[in-house]
Amino acid sequence: MSPKVMPTSEIRNRFAEVLESLRKEGRYCLVTKSGQAVAAFLPIEMYEEIMSELEDRLDEKDECLAQEVAEAREEYRKGKTRKL
């Protein structure tokens, strides 16, 4: 789905309406100033999904954490689990 593109002046004049529209449509909005994108608005669900994916990718780059996750997955696969 392509984003809405709106100038800052329109966002300023219709802020609540724009946010509600984005929430309902599940899409994001690029905010422009003098024809250049300067910001983005997106539904919280989209933000959370993006942040979760980013955190997962960053975690994969952390070698120590990656080793711990691999060990935990192996223990889980072998049935070595404990109740919390």
Residue 5 and residue 32 in contact, taking contact as beta carbons nearer than 8 Å: yes
Is this structure's pTM higher than 0.85?
no
CATH assignment of 4-42, given 3.40.1130, 3.40.1620, 3.30.420, 3.30.160?
Answer: 3.40.1620
Q: Domains of the chain: which residue ranges?
A: 4-42, 45-77
Burial of 38 (0-12, 13-18, 19+ CB in 10 A): exposed
Query: 25-56 pLDDT, tens per residue?
Result: 888 999 999 999 999 999 898 999 999 988 88
pLDDT of residue 40: 93
Percent of the chain with pLDDT over 90: 38
